Each structure stands twice: as C-alpha cells, then as structure tokens.
Structure 1
C-alpha cells in the first residue's frame, strides 16, 4: 500500500482576549496521531502544526509541500481541530457558491482560512492522483467551528477578517471536489468539546464527562477516532462517518456530522487510508439515541412498518417505526455489538409491488421479483395498481406496454432463460425508476418552500421558464448547438432547508449530480452544478432529426435535515448491455447493491434546529427538442455540464 501523508493541526491557544481559547484540540491531534501510527505503521509521514505555529500561511504551505507530495497510491489527510467562523457572503461569486448566504472559514492562529480556499488547496493536493481526506472538527465545518457544551469552537469574524473572494470558473468544467470531507457539524451548526475518560472506550460505551482524570476532546474527534480504532483495514469514509454520526447524536443534541461528497461509489466509498472505491451499501444500521436505526425512511419510499425488514450479514432487523429520514428497528435472531455499524439492505417491502399482466403466444414468462406481482387481465388487482406493466409476447419478443398500449421500451427478445431474466431486469428497473419519479410526501408544511427555477443560460435577469400546455419546459437546439440553461433553487421560507435535486431521464436512469445535497438558507439561492451551465442534449442513440426529443424530470426533495441519497442513483437502462448487477436487486425497494449476505459546541453562536422531521417533493419536467434542420452534436448525457 502507498504512504499516508498526514497534516495534523490543533489550536487551543489563540493568544488574544478577543479570541476564546479551547481545551481539547491538542488532545484531538494526539489521539488521531496515535491511531494513525497504529493503522499505518511504517508508511505514515506526519507533520503537526500546533497553537501559534498554525498560521493561515503555515497551513497553506504545509498542504502544498507536505500533502502535495502524495502520489497516485498514497493518501493525503488533513485533520484540523480548532475554531471556525462564518460571515455574510457579499460578492457575486460568494453568493453563487454559498446557498446559505454565509461564507465559512477555519480560524488559524492569526486569522481565517476560507473554506473555498481550503477546498482549492486540497484539490490541488489531489492533482497528483492521491486520495485526499479532510477531517474538520470546528463549527460550521459542514461548509468547510468548536464549543464546549459549555465551550463552542466558534469565533465571530473580527473587523480585519475580510478574506478575498475565491474565483470560480463558470465556463463549465467539472466542479466536483477532488477530496472527501468528514465534518464535525452541518453548515450553520456548532460543534462541541467536553471532558471524556482518559482512555477511549473499546466498544459502544460513550464515556462519562466530569470524572477525575477526564480529558477534553472534541465530541466529533472522540467519536471518529474511536470508530477508526474499531474498524477494519478497508473501512470507508462513509462507514466511519455513519458510526461517528450516531455516537455524536447519542452524546448530545444539535450537532450532526456531515460527509461530502456523498455520491455512491465515489470518494466516500474508498478506504479511508487508500485503496479502490467499493460498491456502497445503500443503507447502514447504526445505534442512534433512540436505539437501533437504519438511515432511510418515508422519503425513500417506506410508508409503513408492516412487512418492512432489512437484512444484514448476520441476520435481519424489523421496523418498529418509520420517520422521515430513518427507521427505528429491532434485531431479530442476533445482537449487534453496541456502537457498531452494519451495511443492510431492504429485504421486504411495505409498498405494493407493480402489477404485471402477461399475454400472448406460448408459455409466457412470469417475472420473479418482490417489486413485481403477476396479475390476471381485468382483475381488481390489475385495475387498482398504481403502476401496471402489460407484457405482450409476439414473434418471440416481449412488448412492455403501458395501460394505453404505448411502449415503455423497445421490444425485448424472448428466446430463453437469459432473455426472461433480462425482461425481469427491465421491469424491475422501471418499477424502481417510477417509485423515485412519483415519490410524494403528500400535504407537507414544507411544500412550496423551495422553488425550482429554470432560466436561459447567461441571463440572470430573465424570468424563469414556464411549462407549456403539457406541463413541460421545452428547450430547442439553436441550429447545431444544444440549449444551455441555469437551474437555481430558491428557499422562500424562514429557516435553512436541505435540498437534493435529482435528474431522471427518459432512459430510466437517475442521479443527484446537479445538486447532490446541501442546506439552503432562508431567502438563499442554490445553483445546480455550482452555477455552471446545465447543457441539454439528445443521447447518442437518438439521432438529432427534426421531431426528435429527450425528456428529463428534475426531482427536488426538501427536508429539515440530510437524507441518504444513495438509493436515488440508477444507471440508464441499456437493453443491449450486460446484465446490470450493480442495480437494484430483486429483494428490495430503492436498493442499488446485490443481495445481502447470509444470515461542548466548538463555535459560539445560536444553534439551529437539526431534526429532519418534515419533507416535501417537487418535480419539473423538461423536454429537449432537436433542431428543425442541420445536425446536433452527439454529446452523450442528456443533462450535464458542458464538457462533462
């Protein structure tokens, strides 16, 4: 394995009456170093910057010179423990990049290091191919600070702290970060430090504060180091964050650690200290403040408790109650270790499956999947089904039709067992896709609080585009050039709301690349692709002849807290490709992996509500129309950033 370059920054003493000192940051750094030395013995290269040595220039230089040495097989890790701050965004660039209307910064020994500046430095360290990880234990670190509950890790900005705006390239390059962030708290939240027993627990015990011999640690650092101590050698950032998140919530209210970016199969699913990305589990079982819980709930399609069951490697857990973002469960037939985290998969459904009516020549196949149920033609079950597939077999081909007889997909060959399995794959994909597209919270207090606005690219003063008589926003090619638009999300409410914007295409694929999941402040605006243009185009399989078109559905999900977005990713259906074993298996709802195996805030300032509670959805339909004449470029994805 490659080397691990670690830069550990801890600041207890800020050396000014205007800056509150902290007590646990040096302890955090010492604990992190000890654990890294144990896990990466013989390949760890550490540099520490403590107290007055941790100036903004020194941190920047160490990222460039120390972390910048890391190569393709290496890991570069920044661990910062100290104060954080935030200030009002003022410039156009800051407002476009900060949907809460606030900019965040780490507070170094001599002043602020803006989070966007830090992000650019970390991405620069990743330019050589290294896996770059940042752990930030300070308030507002979800944007990129610390208070003891009783002592927050936050400093209000001083008059002289006005860092220059970081330029953003709006021409359309890939703006996704090249590093993964494990943050102590959401953007806008405080993070806390408190006394713990001197020895870190070896299991699920959370430690007692106020005891003799207790050491002060950041709550997040304490939880993360302990999770790392007990984890296997290939543990991912996602798995570590899940366990640390649950531990922090058991210890206190109002602090929710954050993982970013959280797209499945990406940086968050690489082993923390190096290695290839792994296929993530769509759901994780963890011990929360109310008992064992799975990180999905009503927003992921679970509408009731009856029949809902999750499978883990050692057994199953059954739902006790379903909340917006999580499901409280009881283990059956096994006892998980206290404080542990387990990948689980939804293995029993609470929603009725789609009805399949099969007719035609010869012995019709009977698709086997809990997402599908074969019904008789004209039966009450078929008539009542919210989603109905009519499979007609003619000339050794399966025609998958809607109620009105129009096709969902091109006819599929049906000559043997492999073709029958392909048909089941197709029907299962369609069922998953429609469950996402038609997901609705019903009447919700959050309904209408966040607007989705689609505008012509380059004209921010233009009025948002409006749907036509068919309920679709239509954009046409201008000669050979595909249309560009800007997509923005406006929070018209009076509180921060978490938003994710899904793109569902007419080839039955879905993903969250446009706006992967972030809080938008009251009155604030978030932009898809960080404000870069969204390019609409026809897929390669669809020649740009007059009359050709492509459809996309922009699905906004709004919640009071973060939601698990892994189940909302589906590869587009490809009838000619190999069987997609990474897609949703036949034993679950909104699952993307294979079958389960056998049986003291550190920032001063007001805390903000953290309970996810209510959620709402909104869907905007887009139709991209080919030019009346000429040839459109064959660009690939129907919705993307230029050059993406």
Structure 2
C-alpha cells in the first residue's frame, strides 16, 4: 500500500486486501464494422487491407502504435473490488500512476509504475509494454514530444524490498566485501542505495540513510563500482629463487597503509587452474621481473635489494589497468559519443568536420603506419574527433593510455560537446602518433595507444587520471586540499583508481560511460 501525499487509501487498500478473480469477457462474435471505429482506426484498417505502405520498413511498421496490456499472452489478468465495483488490478495501477506522475509522464514511466502495483498485488501477472525498445514509448501518454528516460536504471519497491532493473546479465557484479551502489539521478545531496543481492535480471538494493516513497519509482545511476585489485602470482616455477620470491611476497603483504597488504594487488597462486593471474613476477637467478599474463616482460630486471621498487612498479601497472577497465555497462550514455581518428592529408593543419574516419581492423584497432621520407621515417599525423551522436550536451574527457603504462588527459582535457556536434583533440590541431624516444624507429617496430573516452552528464576534472610512464615518475599524489575539490562519480572513480582511498561522496549522481579505442602505430617493412 502507498502512503504520503496523493495516496488514495480506498484504492490502495482494494489492491492490497480485496479478493481477486480472473477477468473474463465474452468473445466478440465477429470483427466490428468499420463505421463503428474511430476515423484513425478506419484509415489504419483500410491501409492494412490494401497491403499497407510498402515503403515502410519493418521497424517503422512495428512502431505505429503503443500497447499497454494487463499481462503476458500466457497469463491471466485479475480484477478486484466489491461485486458492484470491480476493476482490473492493472487498470487501478495505471490510473493511480497517471494521477501521481501527471500529464507529462511517458508510456514507459507509467508502465513501470503500473507494473510495480500489479506485481505487488498478484503473482504471475506481468503487464507488458509494446514496443518495449522503441522511441515511441518515450512519448507523453496520449501524445506529445518523445522524451528519453533520464536513466537506464529504475529503482522500485516490490514486495517488501527495493530493486533495480539490472542484474548479472547486465554486468552488475557484487562479490563478498565489494560495495556496489546506485544513486538517485542528479539529486543533491546524494541519495544512495547499496546492492545487497544480484540476480540474473535484477538486483536487490538497500537505501542508505534515507526512506524512499514506496509508491514512486526512482531514476538511478551507478554511483560506485568495485575496483577489484589486479591479481599477481609470484615465482612458482623450478627456475625461481625461493628466497627472492618470498621477499616479493612479504613486500606485497606490507605495501599498504600501516603495513597492510597492497590495496592495488591481490596475490594468487600461479597454478590455480580457474584463474590466470593478470601479472606474474619471476625471480629466476635472483632477478625480479614483472610479466604480463601472456608472459611478455613489462619491466627490466631488478635485484632482491630493489624489491620495494618492484612492488611500486606492480602497483603502477595495476593503477593503469584499473583506469583502462573503468566501465558502466548499464549507462544510457554508452555509445553516445564516438571516437574518430581521421588521417591528415599533406599540408592539412585543421581537422575536417565530415571526412570519414579510419576504420578499425579485425582486431578492433586502428592501424597507423610511418611513411618513408628519404633516409628517414615520418610518423603518422591524424586528427581526433569526438562526435556526439545524442540530442543532449555531454561533458567529455579523452585519455591517452600508452603501452609504457602512462596516462595523460592532454588530448581532450575536458569540454562540453553540443548535441549532434564534434569536439576535436588539441583544439583541432594535428596529433602525431610516434614511437617512444627510447624505442628505435625501424621496420617492424610498433607501439600501442589506448584512447579512453569518459562521458558524463556533468563536468569533472581530469587531473586525477594523470599517471607518468612506468619507472619515470609517480602518479599525482593525493593531498587534503586536492581531494576536497573532487565531486561527481567520475572524480570518485578516478581518485579510487589511482589511490583507492576514501573520498567525499558526490554532491549529485550524473550518468557516465566509458569506451576505449586502440591505436596501433607501426613502422612498415621495407619491400
């Protein structure tokens, strides 16, 4: 039952306590005569009889109407109330939703509210909306301009608990000890709920420090995601030196604050058949070297005396990987802004607006190649566009994650991109992709950059994502004066990615998304 302003005790009590019975109606003996229909329906029926408009594609044809039905076609709809005033449970729920949400509510919003009321009153009756995934259902009820939902996530009350419409199949993960939260979209101060149980299609949540209205559904966004520590295995082969391996393990177990284990890294056994470690440390011949999961070396050799340097480099790599793995799989902003790499033509100095971008190869990466110039090589020159394909302004930051485990936001440090418009890296200037200074420019040489785009409904500073190249400089240190200035979920995620320390909760909860485009830069073989 619903309480608070706008509640109807009589209607709500009928839904909650009155006996229910299946709805039943005498089937129509024959189709109704055309003249008994509304003019709009007469026209639609005549079009159908004539074969319809053959130029309309299937998607358009399927989206010429909206249907709100009381149950699925394999279920029964139920009614309730006294014998002389019986109403369908779905009808009561829909009318209540229309009264509460007002004339601007969309078909989708009304259906979420009505379904919540029906499922609270009856098992095995699930109201359905058709077409579920078309813009037409985002129009106001009975007419108006389409209005997209504020968020892909909705929090609602059902049978004694709160839930969101996303579960493990949508990428929600909540292992033991991990803290996954959602927050009411763009409300200040922040109102969060913690995920307590993850099911396939939904997740149960617990409001934190506030009492939501059980008769209302809330647009929410992901406000906190777990930052799982990067896994690392040490030694474990016949060639490894046990004492050196033990020194590395001891250093990892005391690398955190006050001698606690490193918050960035989690030790795992090398021979675990179900888990391949992200990183591996070899100690062959008392030399310490960090390898990737596929065995490729990531650092030079270090000695046992440099064990703390080895752990610092492991943590550096872990920070880099955590930033690259930032993801929000349940965001409505996913895919809203596209990264476009446009190869510059000779003599060109400003970014063209509409030239087609380079297409990624089968591996998903854009391949750029050096060009031969006399006895030397010239690096590829490109422009980078960020194309906002949505109908709303969005704040964007473009990070460059290099294969030397550096992160910098210099390409596009943060700016609002207008709807259906483009932002350009380096203010429209040329971007040179070239090998690092310590890597010889010779046939077959290659480097990789991971262009990571962060998109948000609200502005956020990008300085927290800065990370120097491995072994050259430390990441930006956190200080009390700096940490107090960060607000917004992306700032929180950025600070967590680099430092894994508590930061001030966001003042509002914007939706956000992340995407990565890999760019390979190669020196071609001389034919």
Give the TM interval when normalised to the shorter protein: 0.3 to 0.5
Flag the structure with larger Rg: 2
TM-score (norm 1): 0.39
Higher percent of residues as strand = 1
TM-score (norm 2): 0.47
